[in-house]
Each structure stands twice: as structure tokens, then as C-alpha cells.
Amino acid sequence: MPLMLLDLDNTLVDRDAAFRAAVAGFLAEHDLPSSDLTWVMATDASGYTARHHVLAALTERYGDLVPADSLALLLDHGGADHVVLAPAVREALLTATAHGWTCVIVSNGRTAQQEAKILKAGLDQLVHGWVISESVGHNKPQPQIFQAAADAVRFPLPGAWVIGDSPHADIAGASALGLRSVWVTDGRPWTLSSCAPTHIADDVASAIEHAIATSK
């Protein structure tokens, strides 16, 4: 069976929900307005805002009220501490493995933070490996990170499926390599004109199931 390359944040795990829970706890712990949750989430932009920019914004807003190490702790560990794996995702990964698939997580981000999420969610017991951009020196959609993922499990890259929520990082990256892909929509419309996913799914469990069914 082909190789399955899976995104982590907001694909295998709901990164935004985990970070939202961490922020809500942070605001309550420091007696800050609960209404600030919307501002922090917008500033974070689903993790696409660079950490140093988020930290600078938090420091400007809360620097006189919250110790600097508490702000850093929120960004470095908050999301990882609250991440959970949905039962449907767990079952889909088990099904993929049972059908002979080799599953590898391919994630942009800092290695320590992303590996903490993988371990907290128990994904280390369900996939064959993972590659984090900080560790390999390349970010999605660069082809080198996808090749590094294939190399990590000694599997050929051609014929692989890429599953993820990012049109640019995941789907455009797959398209550039001629790989099949499933875009996890989370209710969003497809807007890129430069490429298109092989398939569109509402959630990652459905995406995994489609790849399995198509490759039988």
C-alpha cells in the first residue's frame, strides 16, 4: 500500500481547540478579561503568526500584569498540554495500519512542541514516524520535507497520499510533487486556482478512509 503523509495541527489533532483551552486557563489564572480570548486567538492565527510576534503582542498587552515566563509557557506548552485525539481519528489510523499503510506525520513547527503534541495525543503509538520542519531544515510545501518523511521510513515517495488542512503547505506541496492529496476542509471553500486536491473531506477520519478505499 502507498505511503500516507499526514499533517498534525488542525488535521490529526484540533490544535486551535487545544490552544483555546490553554488561553482560557491562562486568562482565568491571571485574572485577565475572559473576553481577551478572541484577541489572543486572532493574534495567534491558528499558529501561523510567528512565535516571536505573538510573544511581543502578549508582552505589550500583559507585560505589566503577568510574568514573562508565564507568557512563554503559554506559547511553548499550552497547546500541547491540552491536545486530545478524537476516537474517530484513532480508529481511522488503526484501520490504515491494518490495511498495510505506512503513516508518517509531516508538520511545520518547532520540534519539541510538535513532538509533545504527538506524545500527548498518543499518536506515537499509531504512526510509523514523524518529521518536523525544525529538525530537517525545510518547511512544507518545500519538497525536501516530504522526501525526508519518506526517507525516515525507507519508503518511496512516488504514490504517496498527502492529507492536511492547509491549501498552501499540504495540498500545493503535494501537487508540486505529483502526489495525491485530500484536503480537510473544516467547512471552508477551496479558493486556490493554482492547484486542487485529489479529494476534499470534511474531517481527517473521512480523508484517511477515502485514501484507503481508493487504493484498494
Query: What is the residue extent of each domain of the chain?
Result: 3-14+84-214, 16-82
DSSP string, 116-160: HHHHHHTGGGTSSEEEEHHHHT--TTSHHHHHHHHHHTT--STT-
**pTM above threshold 0.75:** yes
Residue 1 pLDDT exceeds 80: no
What average pLDDT does the chain have? 95
Residue 144 pLDDT exceeds 90: yes
Architecture of domain 3-14+84-214: 3-Layer(aba) Sandwich (3.40)
pLDDT at site 21: 96
Q: Once rounded to an integer, what is the mean pLDDT over residues 95-111?
A: 96
pLDDT at site 216: 67
